[in-house]
């Protein structure tokens, strides 16, 4: 599939909603939000991304300067060379396994590895505009099964009420509808998505 050909029309709306929600959460949080260019704590460790995220990454990589795109692909190849043999899924397709054993293995998989999109010289994401939803919501307080969660570097010393006042809404239903429109089911990780 060519990148961009598989993105549903509503993805632009989803990204705009998320960008506005992040800007508002950052405005409300002020200094409580520690996220700044060069802070890379959230850029380490493997995490699952859906097909919509993978496609968006491909669009951003395709739009990047050729030298930047090749550097990102080089880091993705190195990442897979280092961690691919332990990948809890199909290392040919990059699709994560869904069995209980594979999901349990994923909990401990590549937890300290830098994301291949992270530029080690600048500390910035080389495909920032196409970053997955997980990256877009990391930092501000977001509603999870266990309640509100936020980056451990953010809201240090804040009360529960101060944290709650900065909650970032996430349009899960819209994202789920868009993911359902994708051609390829399953989840992957950033490194595999960058090499499609």
Reported as a single tens digit per residue, the pLDDT across 16-45 is: 999 999 999 999 999 999 998 889 999 999
Q: What is the pTM of this model?
A: 0.92
Are 106 and 48 spatial neighbours (Cβ–Cβ below 8 Å)? yes
Mean pLDDT of 79-97: 96
**Would you state the pLDDT for residue 2?**
37
Specify the higher pLDDT residue, 138 or 3.
Answer: 138
Structural domain total, the chain: 1
109-113: long-range contacts, CB 8 A cutoff, minimum separation 24: 109/46, 109/83, 110/45, 110/46, 110/79, 110/83, 110/86, 110/189, 111/44, 111/45, 111/46, 112/44, 112/45, 113/44, 113/45, 113/46, 113/79, 113/82, 113/83
Closest C-alpha to 189, from 36, 15, 5, 50: 50
Q: Is there a domain that residue 168 lies in?
A: yes
| Within-domain flag for 17 | no
Compute the average pLDDT of residues 97-105.
97
**Residue 118: half-sphere exposure toward Cβ, Cα within 13 Å:** 18
Rounded to whole angstroms, the Cα distance separating 123 from 110 reads 19
When pLDDT is cut at 50, 70 and 90, the band that residue 138 belongs to is very high
Confidence category of residue 1, pLDDT binned at 50, 70, 90: very low
Q: What is the pLDDT of residue 97?
A: 97
The pLDDT of 128-149, averaged and rounded, is: 93
Residue 34 lies in a domain: no
Contact 132, 49 (CB under 8 A): yes
Average pLDDT (81-104) is 96
Q: Is residue 31 a part of any domain in this protein?
A: no
Residue 13 in domain:
no
Check residue 145 and give its pLDDT.
84
Average pLDDT over the chain, rounded to an integer:
93
Burial 97-106, CB ≥16 within 10 A → b, else e: beeeeeeebb
Range of the domain at 181: 41-194
Closest CA to 51 of 168, 192, 182: 182
Q: What is the mean pLDDT of residues 47-68?
A: 96
Instruction: Note the pLDDT of residue 4.
Output: 46
- The contacts of residue 140 (CB under 8 Å, 6+ apart) are 22, 25, 26, 29, 33, 150, 154, 166, 167, 168
């Amino acid at each position: 599939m060519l990148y961009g050909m598989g993105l549903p029309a509503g993805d632009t709306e989803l990204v705009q909603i998320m960008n506005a929600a992040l800007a508002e959460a950052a405005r409300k949080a002020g200094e409580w939000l520690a996220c700044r260019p060069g802070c890379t704590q959230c850029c380490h460790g493997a995490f699952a991304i859906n097909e919509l995220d993978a496609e968006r990454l491909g669009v951003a990589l395709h739009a990047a300067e050729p030298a930047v795109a090749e550097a990102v692909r080089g880091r993705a190849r190195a990442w897979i060379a280092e961690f691919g043999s332990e990948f809890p899924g199909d290392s040919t397709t990059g699709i994560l396994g869904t069995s209980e054993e594979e999901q349990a293995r994923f909990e401990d998989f590549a937890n300290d590895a830098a994301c291949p999109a992270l530029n080690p010289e600048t500390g910035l994401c080389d495909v920032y505009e196409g970053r997955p939803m997980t990256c877009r919501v990391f930092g501000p307080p977001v509603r999870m099964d266990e309640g509100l969660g936020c980056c451990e570097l953010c809201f240090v010393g804040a009360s529960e009420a101060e944290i709650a006042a900065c909650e970032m809404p996430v349009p899960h239903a819209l994202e789920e509808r868009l993911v359902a429109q994708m051609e390829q089911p399953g989840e992957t990780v950033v490194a595999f998505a960058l090499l499609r």
